[in-house]
Amino acid sequence: MTSTREYSVAIVGATGAVGSELLKILEERRFPIGELRLFASERSAGELIELARGEVRVDRLDPEGFRGVDFAFFCAGGAISAEYAPIAVEAGAVVIDKSSHFRQDPDVPLVVPEVNAADLEARERGIIASPNCTTIPIVVALKPIADAVGLARIVAASYQAVSGGGKRGIETLSRETTNLLNLRDAGDGGSSVFPHRIAFNCIPQVDAFMADGATKEEAKVVAETRKVLHLDELPVAVTCVRVPTFFGHAVALTVETERKLGARDAERLLRESPGIVLYDTSSERPYPTPADVGDTDAVHVGRVRDDPSHPTGLQLWVAADNVRKGAALNAVQIAEIVAREL
C-alpha cells in the first residue's frame, strides 16, 4: 500500500508461526511502519529479529508497551488477547486479533476483506477479529455463490496442516517422521499438541471435544461462517481432520443453493472474484493441493462440479496457505483498509 503517513505497529506473539509470517508480509506489502514493537513470552524476550529495517528486539509483553501504538496485532492466543487487547485499545490502538476470543462478540466485527470489508465500519470497541484459518478459505469461496443464488446448506470436511498447531505442531511432525524413518518409536503419542501420532496418520479431531460430539474447531468454523456471511441460520456441518502436511489447509465443500447454479456458471463467478485462483475442471490440472498453495495469497478452488445427489447442489475443493491467507495476510489486509481511514 502507499501512504504518506507512517504508523506505530505492535505485534504480540511476534516469534510464533503467525507472528513471524505477519512480519514478513508487512515488509513485502510495504506497510508504512514508523515504529515497530515486538512482544512475546519471557522465553523469547531479548531475541533480535533481523528485518529489512534492521534488527528489532523482542520484548516481554508489558501494558505500558502500547502507548502511542496505532495498530496492535495479536497472534498469541485467546487468554493474552482477553487480557491485553482492551489495554491496547485504551492506549489508542486499533487491535486486530487473530485469536478466537472476540470472534463471536456482537460488538466486534469478524472480517475477511474479500467478503465483508464493510463490517469494518462497525468497530465501536476498537477491536477487529480475524477468523479461523479454515473459515477464511471457505467464506472466500462461498461469497460469490451466496451473492448469486443464495445458500441453503453447507457441508465441509477440512484437511488441516500441522502448522495450525503453531511451531510446536511443525516440530512434532518433523520429529515423529524422522523417528519413524529411522525405525524408532515416533514418540509424542498423546502429546499436548496432537491427541495421537500425526506422522503418516490423520486425526479426525482438531481441538477438544464438546458435549454434542463436535470439536471446538468445528464449532468455530460453523459460527464464524454464519457471522462473516451474515447468515445466522445457515445450516452448516463441519468435520475437521488434522493431516501430516506442514502447511496448507484444504476443504471439501458440498453446497446446496437456494436457486440452481450449474457448475460452469459457478466457475465463471469464482474466476471473476477477488482473491480466488480457479483451476478449470477441463484442464490437465483441475485442482490445487496443499503443496501448491504454500506462500501464496489467494484461495485456490478446483474440482467444481454439480452434485448428482441434489438438484441445487455443488461440490468444490478449496485450499489455501493457512498461516499466510488463513492468518497473517488477512490481518494485514484488514490493517491496510483501516489505515486508509486514519
Say how far apart CA 62 and CA 273 lie, in whole Å: 42
Residue 39: which residues within 8 A CB-CB, separation 6 or more?
10, 11, 12, 13, 14, 58, 59, 60, 61, 62, 65
Given 75, 240, 249, 300, the catalytic residue? 249
Q: What are phi and psi of 60, to 5 degrees?
A: -70, 140
Distance of CA 162 to the CA centre of its chain: 13
Q: Would you call 249 a catalytic residue per the annotation? A: yes
Given 75, 101, 133, 300, the catalytic residue? 133
Residue 73: which residues within 8 A CB-CB, separation 6 or more?
9, 10, 11, 12, 19, 22, 96, 98, 331, 335
Amino acid, res. 200? F
Q: Would you call 101 a catalytic residue per the annotation? A: no
Pair type for strands 94-97 and 54-60 = unpaired
Q: Which of the residues are catalytic?
A: 133, 249
